[in-house]
Chain A
Amino acid sequence: MLLQAQSVTAFYGDAQALFGVDMHIAPGEVVALIGANGAGKSTFLKTLTGLLPAKQGEITLDGARIDRTDAADIVKLGVAMVPEGRRLFPSLSVEENLHMGTLSGRSGAWNLARVYQLFPILKEKRHQPATSLSGGQQQMVAIGRGLMSNPRLLLCDEISLGLAPIVIREIYAALPALLADGMSLLIVEQDVQLAMQVSSRVVCLQEGRVSLEGPSGALTREQISSAYFGI
């Protein structure tokens, strides 16, 4: 297993957000994490990246514990995140934002040229302030920034959020290119249909617990609806 999480619990202050979540991701695998708002998807990603330390449980990357590791070190070990809301640096240009990815110090197939090849529009706008771009282009910068760190596991949090369908298709069209290098993906997506299309396995969270897990093709709509909404 590339990544393994066992019985992970997490709190925001006194409020518990995760109640013993188990999950694993194999090398090269694409896993979709779905669930209603407030189910704990983003919280779980935060514990994986070290931004919100897990209270209990164990998270391992290639067998080595990372649940007590500083966020700045986890990205150096090869877990990168495309955060919800993109979180680009407004005072940095497109290219400078992409450069931030290289701070992981990891070498690999991804560099500026390859990101520009994947998203040609970014090359055109590379000197503009990142937040002056359209929502879809900003999302491309966020993904590109994640790729520049040459991760083994890329966590994508709601990358279709607030984007027009055609832009979403454009962004998801880029995913196969990532997989070519054997990178693993964990995708948080509220668009269930889309999540099922791109992933090989689906994990559904409800109220901070795993409510459903299975191969993407084998789950029925009823199963998902019930795990998602509780109806």
Chain B
Amino acid sequence: MALLALKQVSKSYGALTVTDGVSLSVAEGEVLGILGPNGAGKTTLFNLISGDTTVDAGEVEFNGACINALAPYQRCRLGIGRSYQVPQPFGAMSVFENLVTAACFGAQLPEKDAWAVAWDVLQQTGLARFANQPAGSMTLLNRKRLELARALATRPRLLLLDEIAGGLTEHEAQELVEELKRIKNTGITIIWIEHVVHALLSIADRLHVINFGKTLCVGEPHSVMQDAEVRRVYMGLEA
């Protein structure tokens, strides 16, 4: 059964339709990559899943139940963890406290257990040496890493990652992919919006390409990347 399913989901702001009848489903344990040019409506899609934005039409189903009416905090507690494209840390709190917060409220753990989760995530994501640093004073790349770490600390079943590889060196990107593979192996389902295509290709089970708020193409990653329309839309390079 699909862990998450969007059914003909639409969203408009005034005359501007940003999501136009998108359907997608993700199976438990799968990694779905989302591609599309800037302004295609990828982040809006995440907002619709996480509840930061509500749908105008269609249905968002998680674990078989419609979650249209649920607030973001409720969706998080159900197991939808997300990162933001523009990092949104709790700036005055330390990195460790950011993670403890996520574990306390996202995973609804008692504080002592939340410490354990936070400690574990710090080890996993390589943020341990920044543990006591105020999150607001970290570099952009580390703040992006914190986005991933904090989403993990909510102990999600579904992880929504919004452009976390941008700006990484090749080596760092590879490390990130290895980390995501480990996360995937623990049974967490992942949807990943990413412009760093080679990183995405090395882990995604399927790709979903969006343009103008509509689905352009869905399928096995390499065949999607060979799709002439996708290449044209994405990079403007003729295949």
Contact = CB atoms under 8 A, between A and B. Distances in A.
A192 B212 contact: no
Contact of A192 (B40, B169, B170, B236): B236
Nearest to A208: B167
B140 interface: yes
A193 B167 contact: no
Contact of A229 (B16, B39, B141, B196): B196
Chain A CB within 10 A, most for which of B38, B137, B143: B38
A193 B236 contact: yes
Given A193-B238, A229-B198, A16 B139 contact: yes
A190 B170 contact: no
Interface string A1-31: 0000000000011111100000000000000
Given A15-B139, A16-B139, A132-B15, A192 B235 contact: yes
Contacts of A162: 37-40, 212
Contacts of A161: 37-39
Given A162-B40, A190-B37, 6 more contacts: A14-B138, A132-B15, A162-B38, A192-B235, A194-B236, A231-B170
Given A15-B140, A161-B39, A230-B170, A38 B237 contact: no
Contact of B197 (A14, A39, A229): A229
B163 interface: yes
A39 B167 contact: yes
B interface residue count range (under 10 / 10 to 19 / 20 to 34 / 35 or more):
20 to 34
A113 interface: no
Contact of A38 (B166, B197, B198): B166
Nearest to B236: A191
B166 A36 contact: yes
Nearest to A228: B235
Interface residues of A, number: 31
Interface of A: 12-17, 36-39, 85, 131-132, 135, 158, 161-162, 164-165, 190-195, 207-208, 221, 229-231
A16 B38 CA distance: 23
Contact of B137 (A14, A191, A230): A14
Interface in B29-50: 37-40
Contacts of A131: 14
B180 interface: no
Given A161-B37, A221-B237, A38 B139 contact: no
Interface in B3-24: 14-16
Interface of B: 14-16, 37-40, 136-141, 143, 163, 166-167, 169-170, 173, 195-198, 212, 232, 235-238
Give 4 nearest A-B pairs by CB, closest first: A162-B39, A191-B236, A38-B166, A193-B236
A157 to B, nearest CB: 11
8 contacts: A38-B195, A39-B167, A162-B39, A164-B212, A191-B235, A192-B237, A195-B236, A230-B169
A98 to B, nearest CB: 20
Given A132-B15, A164-B212, A230-B169, A36 B37 contact: no
Contact of A12 (B15, B37, B140): B140
Given A16-B139, A190-B38, A192-B237, A230 B173 contact: yes
Contacts of B136: 13-14
B237 A207 contact: no
Contacts of B140: 12, 15, 17
Contacts of A12: 140
B125 to A, nearest CB: 18
Contacts of A221: 237
Contacts of B141: 15
Contacts of B169: 207, 230
Nearest to A134: B15
Contacts of A135: 16
Nearest to A197: B236
A164 to B, nearest CB: 7
Contacts of A229: 196-198
A192 B16 CA distance: 26
A37 B139 contact: no
Contacts of B14: 131-132
Contacts of B236: 190-195
B56 to A, nearest CB: 19
